[in-house]
Amino acid sequence: MPRADRAADDPVELTVGEGAAGRLDVFLARHLPDLSRRRTRELIDRGLVRINGRRARKGGAVQPGDVVRIDAAAEPVRLAPQPALPVPVIYADAAIVVVDKPGGLPSEARRAADRDTVANFLVAQYPEVEQASPNALEAGLVHRLDPGTSGVLVAARTPEAFRELRRQFRDHEVAKEYLALVEGDLARAGRVDLPIAHVPRHPRRMSVCADPRRARRLRARPAVTTYRPLERFGAATLAIIETRTGVRHQIRVHLAAIGHPVVGDSLYGTGTAQSFTASRPLLHARQLRFRHPARQGSASTFTVEAPLPADMQQALRWLRAHAAIRR
C-alpha cells in the first residue's frame, strides 16, 4: 500500500507499493479517492505532479518504490460566485446542502474562469464549500450529474462530511433512483450488468464491454443498472432506473445497449423523431438515499427527492394525450 503524508495545505506524497504499478492517473485516483480521475489528469497537465522529482508526463506510469508528489496547493483556485443562478435548494444543514440541478447546467467547473455551473452557485450561497473539498472547483460536490441530467445533487459543507460522503459513493452504498423517458416500448423490467469504458479516440463517448478481453484492455469499470417500466406509450416509455455504481454516462450507455436510449440523447440515441421537443436527454435523478454524515444510529438514514422538471412533465402530458397507454 502507498504511504501518504498530508497536512491541510501541504503537498501530497505517495510511495508506490508492491503490486501498485501501472498508469499514473489510475494510481492517483485509486489511492486518493478525494480526487477524481479527471482532476488528477488536470494536475498532471498543469505540471503539478512529479515522479521521483521529475515532472510527470500525460499517460505516464509508476513502478514500486517511486515517490509521487502532488503540489495541488501551488496554484490557488477561486470560483466566481453566482448567486442568481436558477438552482433550487432542496435541503441544507450544517454538514450538507442538496440542490435540484436544472438540466443543461454543468455540475462542476472545469477551470477557475468557468461560469454558469452549480459550483458557482454553491460558493455564492455557501462559501465554506470551497474548503470542504480538496479541489475548490468541486465546491464540495460529492458526486456529479451529466450536464443534461436534472435532479438531486449533494455537496458537503465540511471536510469531514465530504470525506464520508465520498466514501459512501466510492463503496457503492448510496442508492440512486432516476426517471428516464426512453425510446420505444420497454415491456418488462431488467438488469444490465456490463462494464463501461471510454471509446478509443472518441473521448466524449463511452461503451459497454461485453467481451472480458476488451474490458481488460480498455480498463472498463464495473457498472450495474436496473430498470422497470412505469408508463408505456408505444413509441416511448417512462422508466424507473436504479443504480449504486456511478460510471460516466452509465445509465445512458446501458439503456442504449438494450435498444432503449434516453429520449433527446444526441450522443447515444437513435435520432427517432418525437412530436415534442427534447433539448436534452430526458433523464432525472429523482432520489438519493445515504447515511447523513453528521447523524448517528437510525437517524442517519437520509432520503432526498427532487420533483420532475417542467420539460419532462410537458413531454409526458403530450404522450398521455396522444398515445394509448399500456401498463
Q: Which residues are catalytic?
A: 146
In DSSP terms, which residues pair with 78 in a beta bridge?
Answer: none
d(CA 20, CA 253): 30
Report the side by side order of strands in the sheet with 12-15. 3-5, 12-15, 67-70, 49-51, 54-55
What distance in Å separates the CA atoms of residue 239 and residue 197, rounded to the nearest whole number? 24
Q: Residue 291, SS3?
A: strand
Which grid cell sits at 147?
A: 450536464
| CA quadruple 115, 118, 119, 120: dihedral, nearest 10 | 40
Residue ranges in 117-158 assigned as alpha helix (H): 118-125, 129-132
